[in-house]
Chain A
Amino acid sequence: MPEWRKLLAFAARDWHLRSSYHLSLLGTVGQMVFTLAMFFFIGRLVDPLRLQGMDAAAGDYFPFVVIGLVAAHYFTAALSGLSGSLRDEQLQGTLEAMLVTPTHSASILIGGLIWELLWATLEAGLYLVLGALLFGQDFSRINVPATMVLLALSVVVFSSLGVLAACGVLLFKEFDPVSWIAGGAMKLLGGVYFPIALLPDGLQSLARALPMAPVLDGLRAAVLSGATLHQVRGACGAAAIFAAILWPSSLACFGWTIRRLKTAGALSFR
């Protein structure tokens, strides 16, 4: 059986696991409605004239933050979902059980991510639908190809960071430095909740050197203003460079981590 077909088995496994908790989707939708409502009313407090850097959202805070939330949700799934699930696999002994089968370690990684990303896609779509239906936000100008390319590239970037985080968790157990550094940087410097133009100059330069801010600018332009792939090529290029460096590095790091765990006899902990 080719390795890609094993990925379907991972997706089926995670679907069965997730659907065994019958009310989880309902809880997710409820949480989204409350989050959107909160930012909708915060948006009424914010004076667009005093805010810089919200060009794509035409100065309106609510669409600005909705796209930030959608992207942050997506990236968090890629960043933290894998490290959490691999830690669970290590604790319940299924990581060792999988490594006894003739399955490539990269398949175990990608397989662990598939459901997280499918679920995050569903939730991202729900954010947009709820934002449109309940709060009257107009997303009709979205440029789908530009949005998809940007999301795909940034998912590779954040999944790579997620793999590095997973390596940290597998080696150091409860200590997950990559997730909290990358997650914190994403929220503070990524431009999720406020434009990075509000940051002091030094932090602004740092924010622009990280992948999140240019990708989010590109996404807001593509979703809210209908920017084409050509118009967001700068953001795509930045994400592609990060992806080209981080993905192979993270795979190599995962291979090394598995060897370390095999040497220490620590693939499973019960």
Chain B
Amino acid sequence: MPTIVLEQLTKVFHAARSFGAWLRRPWQRGEPVLALDEVSLTVEAGELLCLMGSNGAGKTTLMKILAGVVLPTSGRALIDGYDVTRASRLLRAHIGFAAADPAGFYDRLTGRQNLAFFASLHGLPGAQARGRIDELLSLLELDMPDQFYQEYSSGTKQRLALARALLHQPSLLLLDEPTRSLDPLQTERVHALLRGRLRRQGVTIVLATHQVWEAEALADRVAVLHHGAIQACGTPHELKGRGTLADAVKQWCSVEGMSA
């Protein structure tokens, strides 16, 4: 059974309205914005799928629907056969999510205290949580765990977000641009973790990225999103045909901002 099944998943947001527009028609909603347009996709257990697309293509919305923090407008998203909108608490125990913006931490707690809090919310008992936190701090080379979060660099914050996503050893990992703020050395270390240890553990990974070379290095398959719709999906080899993957992606998205 595939880990993820998306069936005609559609998400429409409504744009915020000006105060004047709200005064004239307080009952009316803002202009609809189509974020996902009948996306259908499957991801097999243990697979690493890269989502590619320009800004606003719908990658983050798709990730957040899978993480259970955004509800779809129509269609279905199933994880291990369960609908994410109906069994979200059950599923959340098996999902690790690291958002693109490394937010969602308490500025006035240390990195270790932040991780301990979220470990408790994942149900890890004290001693087990402490051991797991030490393991992740070492694995991700987070060497200032007892400083306040607000004192961290953006790269450290991003690695802390990855550590939080891994705390409860999830079987599905949703990573939204996990290397965006990392230097090349740290990026390589995160890639080694994704390619090595997590693959061996059979973790299914969905990773959103703008970096074509990152997708080429990591992905079993790449799905290209544009204006909320899947333009192409296949192995990097299938997608690039006779040219490069960067050219192929640019062709599907006809966008600037993709780095080869």
List residues of A whose CB falls within 8 A of some B CB: 1, 5-6, 8-9, 12-13, 16-17, 20-21, 92-94, 96-104, 259, 262-265, 267-268, 270
Contact = CB atoms under 8 A, between A and B. Distances in A.
B69 interface: yes
Please classify how large the interface on chain B is, using the bins under 10, 10 to 19, 20 to 34, 35 or more. 35 or more
Interface of B: 13-14, 61, 64, 67-71, 89-90, 92-93, 95, 97, 99, 101, 103-109, 113, 116-118, 120-125, 148, 164
A99 B118 CA distance: 11
A92 B61 contact: no
Nearest to A94: B104
B104 A1 contact: no
B14 A93 contact: no
A30 to B, nearest CB: 22
B13 A104 contact: no
Given A13-B113, A270-B101, A270-B103, A100 B69 contact: yes
Contacts of A8: 120
Given A13-B117, A94-B104, A101 B124 contact: no
A13 B109 contact: yes
B123 A262 contact: no
B31 to A, nearest CB: 14
Contacts of B122: 101-102
Contacts of A259: 71
Contact of B61 (A9, A12, A265, A270): A265
Contact of A17 (B89, B108, B123): B108
Nearest to B101: A270
A265 B92 contact: no
A93 B105 CA distance: 7
A190 B30 CA distance: 41
Contact of B120 (A6, A92, A96, A268): A6
A225 to B, nearest CB: 44
A93 B104 contact: yes
Contact of B93 (A17, A97, A102, A268): A102
A98 B103 contact: no
19 contacts: A1-B120, A1-B125, A6-B123, A9-B120, A12-B116, A12-B117, A16-B108, A16-B109, A17-B109, A93-B103, A93-B105, A94-B105, A99-B68, A100-B69, A102-B90, A262-B69, A262-B70, A262-B71, A265-B61
Given A17-B106, A94-B106, A100 B92 contact: yes
A114 to B, nearest CB: 13
Contacts of B93: 102
B149 to A, nearest CB: 10
Contacts of A99: 68-69
